[in-house]
A and B are shown apart, each in its own frame.
Chain A
Amino acid sequence: MTELGKPTVVVDELHVEYRTFASGKAASDRRALLKRQRGVRIVHALKGVSFVVREGESIGVIGHNGSGKSTLMRSIAGLHTPSRGAVYASDRPALLGVNAALIGDLTGDKNVVLGGLALGMSPAEIEDRREEIIDFSGIAEFMDIPMKNYSSGMAARLRFSIAISKDHQILLVDEALAVGDKAFRDKSEQRIRDMRAQAGTVFLVSHSMRSILDTCTRVLWIDHGNLKMDGDPAEVVGAYEKSK
């Protein structure tokens, strides 16, 4: 893979630790204001993952539940501070996750506007793209009800449509396509291939090996917080499926 373009994402010896109370509530202060450490557990989610991604690659990320895939995505998006190591990227990566609702109290339509503004579009730009975003989501008739009343599939469609409305150089897709129906999945996968053609870099986390094989040029297998395998899709997916 050396003939590829310039590096767009460099992940350098990335370690991520979560401190959680055993009750499930996140520790609120790492300096432990009250010296009480009762029930605190440290979860070592990533244990030194390193790789380089170059222009025009689309990376599939696979692994069993709890292996650290989502943590890796969140760290690349800059939403999680590494405890050791660092992530470098040519552009601010945009993350699409399943559990990321925008603002549940607001209608879908208003979430489209706010999401666009948060992504850095101007009000005029959003006015232009609004139709396109809503069309792509395919749920135009539900735009006037609050997002908290959406089904998970509807919410995921809308979030995906908002996120891809802006041309990102680096897009991280975390299971977001899994909840959509087949028609929407095909449309989204086409969009991802288009993005890659524009020299964008795409990361796709999925449990659907078909999606991975269809869209990715390289696959990372994360296992218990370590990078177990990194290479050609067919080869890595094959090894992964054999291991089960």
Chain B
Amino acid sequence: MTTTDYAALAREAGLPRVGARPPLVAYFKEMWERRHFATTMARYRIEATLSENRLGLAWVVLNPLLQAAVYGLIFGVIMPSSSRPPNFIPFLVTGFFIFTYFAQSFSQGAKAITGNASLVRSLSFPRMLLPISAVLQQLYQLVPMMIVLVVILVAFGEYPTWEWLLVVPILGLMTMFNLGVAFIAARLTVHLRDVTQIIPLITRILFYLTGIFYSLELVLADRPNLLKIAQLNPVHDYVALVRASMLDGQEHSTVLWVVASVSAVAFLVFGIVFFWKAEERYGHD
């Protein structure tokens, strides 16, 4: 065999290297062309999981609702305390629903690549569509949850005001944050499967730090420094902002808005770059 300079031959013919990670702009262009893949997949996934159950779509709402009921029973009825605000049920349900959006995006986002291994191995497309689709699925499921939430709030005497509309930009910021978290978790899981074992633990810790069944602001009222640190947790801030917009007696604060916005942008940008850097690696094991 003669020694041919294959690389030069390819250069001459203008052939690009296969599997090379495209530059970020081209990557986004390609994703945009295939955006329907992410939305359709999210929709089909919901339909597939729901068709297996008798109650179908009702479970999207029933599941978090029943869990909230357990916490309501334990902490509202059996162990009432001064750390809980007066309108406890709306406070609890709002917090629980919003937190569920984060927790599900986190855990489903982490499985986005490893859980779709056969798809990743058989077709090549921008892999970022998979975690995006996972978060979209949660976003779609949030819609019926928000409708039920409104019904519950009205039933417990919280009436709609114009301020409720603030929930839309808040959830917009939260979606950016969730996407960032899903990108990071998805790549980490590819490198180290063990990450999926730690995710429930992290979620649990965040659940307690976020103040779902108690109010951080009430518990830490006389320790302002500790409260400031607690408010650096973006998940708490999204939950607190939604509560402030929808419930009486919960207040917005600049700190919450600043942390919520900065972490949304920071996590999204870091997540995109972090995920994209390893694009060539997905599906190779």
Contacts and interface: CB of A to CB of B under 8 A. Distances in A.
B119 A86 contact: no
Contact of A93 (B6, B18, B44): B18
Contact of A100 (B15, B48, B121, B280): B121
A27 B6 contact: no
A4 interface: no
Chain A binding surface SS class: mixed
Contacts, number: 135
Band of interface residues on A: 35 or more
Contacts of B285: 26-28
9 shortest A-B CB distances, which residue pairs?
Answer: A78-B19, A100-B122, A12-B6, A88-B10, A26-B285, A117-B37, A88-B15, A10-B10, A78-B18
B9 interface: yes
A10 B15 contact: yes
Interface of B: 4, 6-7, 9-10, 13-19, 33-34, 36-37, 40-41, 44-45, 48-49, 116, 118-125, 190-194, 280-281, 283-285
26 contacts: A7-B10, A7-B15, A10-B10, A27-B285, A33-B192, A75-B18, A77-B124, A78-B19, A79-B284, A81-B284, A88-B10, A90-B15, A93-B18, A95-B122, A97-B121, A97-B122, A100-B122, A101-B118, A110-B44, A114-B41, A114-B44, A117-B34, A118-B37, A119-B123, A120-B33, A146-B48
Contact of A120 (B41, B125, B194): B125
Contacts of A106: 44, 48
A138 interface: no
A211 B125 CA distance: 30
A79 B19 contact: yes
Contacts of B284: 79-81
Contacts of B283: 79
Contact of B6 (A11, A114, A118): A11
A76 B192 CA distance: 26
Contacts of B124: 77-79, 92, 94
